[in-house]
Amino acid sequence: MRRLFWVAVGAAAGVYAVRKVQKTLHAYSPGGLAERATGVGASWQAFTDEVRRNAAEREAQLREALGMEPADPAAPLSPAEAADLTEHPGSPAARPRTKPTTPATSTTPPTRTTRSRST
pLDDT at residue 118, rounded to an integer? 59
Distance from C-alpha of 27 to C-alpha of 81, rounded to nearest angstrom:
51
Mind listing the pLDDT tens digit for each residue in 74-84?
667 778 877 88
Is 109 buried (19+), middle (13-18) or exposed (0-12) by CB count in 10 A?
exposed
Would you report the helix, strand and coil content of the chain in percent, each value rounded to 5? 65, 0, 35
pLDDT at residue 53, rounded to an integer? 94
Buried b (16+ CB within 10 A) or exposed e, 5-20: eeeeeeeeeeeeeeee
pTM (two decimals) = 0.37
Mind listing the pLDDT tens digit for each residue in 16-65?
999 999 999 998 888 888 888 888 888 889 999 999 999 999 988 888 88
Mind listing the pLDDT tens digit for each residue in 86-119?
887 776 655 555 554 455 555 555 556 556 555 5
pLDDT at residue 65, rounded to an integer? 85
| Type of residue numbered 91 | S
Mind listing the pLDDT tens digit for each residue in 5-15?
999 999 999 99
